Structure 1
Amino acid sequence: MSRLAALMPALLLAAQAATAQEAAAQVKQNWFEDPFFRISAGLPACTMPEGPFYTAEERRAQTHSRLERGTSCWLAGKCTDSNAYRYDKPLAPKVRAALLAVPGVRKSSVWVVIQRRWVYLQGCVPSAALARKLERAARAVPDVETVVPDLMIGTRGKPPYRVAGQ
């Protein structure tokens, strides 16, 4: 048996391991456990947002800026907690309840992401009036700092948010 033939199994295993590591690096996860949930599914053709899912590389790139943004709220005297991201999990059920109380919300397809007291509304609504009502409802929840209404009217066109699977 030639030396190359003897090395082939080891080379094949090394190539498979490298391929597996590369594939694992591309898998997206909610590394920071940011609240992400769906409020309604009334417009089934609405494109689902990506949500707070990142590859391992994207996570590494975001870690430093998240540390800065999380403490800047406290340093500015706008938060009592030294990390604004710690507000997010307790805010999630309050934001969900406020949005579900908006008349007509079930006729839309809306997802919510909460990061450092910012509420991102993503998805599709049947009217601009409903989008405004949802934004006002989320904004009225105590401890919500900002609401970003990334909502489309209807289901046609390019969504103003990152899309799942891309």
Structure 2
Amino acid sequence: MSTPTTMTDETEDWNTRHRAEGPLNRADRNFAELLQELRVVFTGVQVLFGFLLTMSVSERFKELDDFQHGMFVTTLAGAAATSTLLVAPVAAHRFLFRRNRKRELVRAGHCLAMAGLGFLALTLAAGLMLVLDIAVGRVASIIGVTVLLSGTLVLWVLVPLGLRRDSCAAPVLSDPAP
């Protein structure tokens, strides 16, 4: 009678067979992939953060009402939090460098990146709310943000979860039939 294996064990076996990749090589590859993903996201967050910083010293900033000021502060704080979360895996890597903790770093980096993406969604929504409120009014801004958050939920959460569920149901970890 065989003992049940975990998905991690099966994935490790699959990586070893099909990629000739051991657990540490896989952790190195996963961390490199994570850093590449963070580079893509971080650039946009930094552009948004820089724009917000310059907006606060513009003449038009004084014309914002209390709600718009609140949205500005929310967007600025969200961009700062997003930046902090997205850079955290790099900072953690510096602290853990040459300490043989790459697998833990990948797990923690994944969690930090997911939190950063959550804050990014909220930051984008707050920024859109602010700009649309100024440009076309409060009702239109609420509709715009609702559409954005709905699309984000579908594209960032539901589609990946659907793909993950489909991949779990398929026999991807076994060798193909001859």
TM-score, normalised relative to structure 2:
0.25
Q: Compare the two structures and name the one with the higher strand fraction.
A: 1
TM-score, normalised relative to structure 1:
0.26
